[in-house]
Amino acid sequence: MGKEDLVSRADSLMRRRRSFVAGPTSPAAPDVPPDTATAAAEADEDIPVLTEEVLPETPVGVAPRDRFDETLAARLASEFAHTLERRLAAELPSLVEASLAVLEADLRRGILDTADGAIKDFLARREQLRLPLDDPDDQAGRDA
């Protein structure tokens, strides 16, 4: 049995069921009120058959967009640019101030570390050479 044959038979079965539900009430079932049969028929109206294409519902007032709307895109870009500009204008000064405070602290720390290293190197060299901390010219003047 091919795919098309199967779809055709299922579609036929669904149509028979629809006609049975939507058909007139048989005399063998007099206890079913006509309103129930009508309601069942209306409920089955929105049941798709296998060969029917069902598209998603679009909300009321929203038109489907088949193409790119350049005017809308330009308006949205402009609104976004203004929003971003206002946000940056409000927050940029504090961001710059915080960044400068961090840079200042890093710079101070770097200068102090460099100076500390230079002092340690200087003292280490003087210790290796066992040179006095006094100037040799001053020492010669005192010895004379």
Determine the 3-state secondary structure of 66 from DSSP. Answer: coil
Cα–Cα distances in angstroms (integers) from residue 28 to residues 24, 25, 41, in the given order: 11, 8, 18
The C-alpha angle with vertex 140 and arms to 134 and 144, in degrees rounded to 5, equals 135
Residue 72, in any domain of the structure: no
Q: Please give the pLDDT value at position 112.
A: 97
Q: Please give the pLDDT value at position 15.
A: 75
How many independent structural domains does the chain possess?
2
Residue 29, in any domain of the structure: yes
Alpha-carbon torsion (130, 132, 135, 139), positive or negative: negative
Residue type, 85: E
Angle between helices 3-22 and 34-44 (to 10 degrees): 150
Residue 19, in any domain of the structure: yes
Residue 31, in any domain of the structure: yes
Q: Please give the pLDDT value at position 86.
A: 96
Q: Residue 8 belongs to what domain range? A: 1-49
Residue 55, in any domain of the structure: no
- DSSP 8-state code for residue 49: P
Q: Are 7 and 51 in contact (CB under 8 A)?
A: yes
Residue 129, in any domain of the structure: yes
Q: Please give the pLDDT value at position 82.
A: 96
Residue 81, in any domain of the structure: no
Q: How far apart are CA 127 and CA 133, in angstroms?
A: 10
Per-residue b or e along 84-120, where b marks 16 or more CB atoms closer than 10 Å to that residue's CB: eeeeeeeeeeeeeeeeeeeeeeeeeeeeeeeeeeeee
Residue 101, in any domain of the structure: yes
How confident is the chain (144 residues) per 10-residue block, as mean pLDDT? 76 68 51 56 63 68 69 94 96 95 96 96 85 61 57
